[in-house]
Chains A and B, each alone.
Chain A
Amino acid sequence: MVDESDESLMLRYCKGEVRAFEVLVKRHRKPVYNFIFRFVRDAAQADDVLQETFLRLIKSSAGYEQQARFTTWLYTIARNLCIDAARRGIHRQVVSLDAPFDGDGTATLGDRLAAEQAGTDREALGRELQLRVHTALAALPDEQREIFLLREVADLQFDEIARVVGCPANTVKSRMRYALEKLRVALEDYHEPSELSPPAGVRQELIK
């Protein structure tokens, strides 16, 4: 069951086999969460969106047809919910002034980064790098950022991203190039610590 394709697991769930769905959850929960989290930039909200994503998946499973790739479907739902959530996030910032008890979304980027990496020297070295990447990502236009995240965090291929966001593959690629270029500029005068730039042979491995 572990190596079974997403699609066939989904079909089995559609026939009522809950175990098959469990495998799907185990397989995709973390990457989908990470995509959502990097998109909405709020852990609590990301968790909500994650729940909602799977709930929609479950509820519309009766209409599932194998012609649609499972991950395409999954990330289409997640992305749409992220866009909704991000829109609400804009309102929320206004609301939160009146709602001091709202535990979500109050931590600053700095706080979160610090919490995320309570730690080791190696990670402390990366703090500047993190700030640079996060800032550059935040400055990207939405349509570039989502493609960057779908490729780098969700690890979808470009043609699949094109189906998720509903635009031609060439558009996806050109947006990705813009995003990469801006990130490259953001990292331009950043000196990689030596352990981050391993010799060329290992580099390939690291990228994969």
Chain B
Amino acid sequence: MTTESDICQRLLEFAYDELDPAQAERFAAHLAACARCSTELEGIRRVRRAIPLALPQVEPPGSEARLMEAAERHRPRRRRLVMLARVASHPAYSAAACLVVLSGVLAFQIMRGRLGIFRRDVQEVSLPAPEAPFYAAPPPPAEASRLPAGAVAPAAAPSASEESRPRFAAEPKRPVANDDALATMKKAKRMAVHSASPPAEPLARRQMVAAKTADKAEGAAGEEGEAEESAVKGRVVSGVVGGAASGAAGAPLRVAAQESAPEREAERALQAGRCDQAVTLYDQLQQRDRRYQPPARIRAAYAHCLRLLGRTRQARETLDSLKAEKAVPTAEPETATPPVRAREK
């Protein structure tokens, strides 16, 4: 049954043509009898008449071409397969995968009260824990927290479970990745002393925050001081994560690229907030090599400076180039998060 006030609720939909014909007809009949609705409707229509003039549709100033360029550059091509292949080929990722498998097995063993036999293995893996998750690909937080818990569980049944052993045999891969990644990380750390996060914070969480900061900062970069700092922070951390992956695969590492003296000076100026000086130095570098761009990890800050100096166009291009580069190492986490709305909220 529809009461009077229920039907009054339909006013907006009626005013905006969202009712189906039958409902609209019913509402029109109601309108003749309801003074309140008809007054409100008249008010709404008056406002709506003013809108086309008050808020005329304007043409976007930028060009479609740039959007299409981006669409072309990031064109999805069977990303899932690519992703799997990549995961499989990066030791850092397989180390993370092993971690996941390992913790699954552990949980299974704990459930069956058979942990004792694995105690040594567990310690081997969990000892470097304060650093390990920092450069390995981020394991899901649940796994990260489960592992240390398993490591201190008491020894119980000494009987070896035959089917579990072979799974652990895959583990030796991990230290290999560690060595590479450790070297990488030391380098990256040297470049980014100021970005050290408090060690007490849970690691998985810290990574998620870092990833988020990087993501946010990308949009925010160059807007204000805070954003700049978090941009640099985020980028450095994600540089470490991405760098660990590419470093382990034997590719040259962006973060650790050779830097010339003017570059170092420019970077110091940038970090000290002397935008004009930094930009002048980078200009000189770019005069020498037209394709030169500051290293990715500080490019957001550089863009910020450009913008402060009124060179918004160049700032935007710089950010775009950054996004384009960043798109490669972050492709996995991004594609791995499927539901659209959940991600955006």
Contacts and interface: CB of A to CB of B under 8 A. Distances in A.
B120 interface: no
A116 interface: yes
B57 A30 contact: yes
Contact of A25 (B45, B46, B68, B316): B68
B216 interface: yes
Contact of B55 (A14, A80, A133): A133
Nearest to B79: A62
Given A63-B343, A88-B227, A129-B53, A187 B47 contact: yes
Say what secondary structure dominates the interface of chain B. Answer: helix
Contact of B77 (A16, A33, A163): A16
B3 to A, nearest CB: 16
B341 A73 contact: yes
Contacts of A192: 46, 49-50
A38 to B, nearest CB: 6
A44 B66 CA distance: 15
A197 to B, nearest CB: 7
Interface residues of A, number: 84
B341 A55 contact: no
A153 B330 CA distance: 34
Interface in A44-62: 44, 46-48, 50-52, 54-56, 58-62
Contacts of A117: 56
Contact of A34 (B17, B46, B58): B58
B44 A184 contact: yes
Contacts of B345: 76, 80, 166
B64 A26 contact: yes
Contacts of A110: none
A57 to B, nearest CB: 9
A34 B58 CA distance: 6
B50 A196 contact: yes
B51 interface: yes
| Majority DSSP secondary structure for residues of A touching B | helix
A92 B147 CA distance: 45
A77 B9 CA distance: 29
A107 B162 CA distance: 75
A2 to B, nearest CB: 16
Q: By CB atoms of chain A within 10 A, which of B55, B57, B225, B309 has the most?
A: B55
Given A50-B62, A58-B70, A130 B54 contact: yes
Interface stretch (B86-94, B188-196, B288-296, B332-340): B332-340
Complex A-B, nearest 6 residue pairs according to Cβ-Cβ distance, in ascending order:
A101-B310, A133-B54, A33-B60, A184-B43, A63-B338, A62-B335
Interface of B: 9, 12-13, 16-18, 40, 43-62, 64, 66-68, 70-72, 74-80, 216, 219-220, 223-227, 307-310, 312, 316, 320, 323, 327, 334-335, 337-341, 343-345
13 contacts: A26-B64, A34-B55, A34-B58, A38-B55, A50-B60, A73-B344, A76-B341, A80-B345, A95-B308, A151-B16, A152-B48, A166-B345, A184-B46
Interface of A: 13-16, 18, 21-22, 25-26, 29-31, 33-34, 37-38, 43-44, 46-48, 50-52, 54-56, 58-65, 68, 72-73, 76-77, 80-81, 84, 88, 91-92, 95, 99, 101-104, 116-117, 123, 126, 129-130, 132-134, 151-153, 157-158, 163, 166, 170, 173, 176-177, 180-181, 183-184, 187, 192, 196-197, 203, 206-208
Given A129-B54, A180-B47, A203-B49, 17 more contacts: A18-B71, A25-B71, A30-B59, A47-B60, A51-B70, A60-B337, A60-B343, A65-B340, A73-B340, A91-B224, A123-B53, A126-B53, A153-B55, A157-B16, A158-B13, A184-B43, A203-B45
